[in-house]
Amino acid sequence: MNQTVSTAPTATLPTGNGLRSDLAVIAEWIAPGTRVLDLGCGDGALLAHLAAARDVRGYGLELDLDNIAACVDRGVNVIQRDLDEGLADFDEGSFDYVVMSQALQVVHAPDRLLREMLRVGRAGIVTFPNFGHWSTRAQLALGGRMPRTRTLPSCWYNTQNIHLCTLRDFEALCAEQQLEILRRAVTDAAHRSRPGLRLWPNLRAEIGMYLLRRARRS
């Protein structure tokens, strides 16, 4: 498996910057003065913060019109795009980082989009809910119903999540696609890192956060 995983120190959350805690973790992983593409950028909060605090040049892809308007209000460069359409309009190596936060499980072909992320970007940052958490296992095993948790609150019939996975599933996909895991953070639903989560993370973590690149040929 092509992995070089670093889990210590796991995400120390900045305070006072107005970012959602998961976006604050992502911001820590992005070097100053770089180029960033944010897939499903929402209201542009991450890109606006990176531009102001780290001199990052960024673009966002977003489908929702209200979020696009919010991006424009923040001065964020945004393109209306459905992620299922792919990234064919972007040249190889156009960005230093491509970010996809909490969208992996929503797209129709996550494996293909992951490949595209690492074609367009030198590194990728991906976050997603861990379907291997003990609470989802317990609800399936004991209740026999699709789980509803803090990170997966919707019912099975109205959820946008169509490709749920565990941490092990995602890491196996990275190995299949020859992607190197440079860094991993595992957190609870509030994106807090706790020492106990490092013990059996696939069972105890609610969210996985990964920094990736294409594996270098030896």
Q: What is the pLDDT of residues 183-200, one digit of tens each?
A: 999 999 888 887 778 889
Residue 183 contacts residue 9 (beta carbons within 8 Å): no
pLDDT tops 70 at residue 74: yes
Instruction: Enumerate domains of the chain plus CATH numbers.
Output: 21-131+162-214 (3.40.50.150)
What is the spatial distance between Cα 58 and Cα 35, in angstroms, rounded to a whole number? 6
Instruction: Determine if the peptide bond prior to 9 is cis (ω within 30°).
Output: yes
- Label residue 218 by pLDDT band (50, 70, 90): low
Q: What is the pLDDT of residues 27-72, one digit of tens each?
A: 999 999 999 999 999 999 999 999 999 999 999 999 999 999 999 9
Q: Mark residue 120 as left, alpha or beta (left: phi above 0; alpha: psi -120 to 50; beta: remaining).
A: alpha
- Of 20-29, 167-176, 188-197, 208-217, the range with the highest mean pLDDT is 167-176
Give pLDDT, residue 179: 96
Collapsed DSSP state (helix, strand, coil) of residue 196 = helix
- Label residue 17 by pLDDT band (50, 70, 90): low
pLDDT tops 70 at residue 176: yes
Average pLDDT over residues 87-113: 95
The burial class, CB within 10 Å (0-12 / 13-18 / 19+), for 137 is: middle
Which pTM value belongs to this model? 0.88
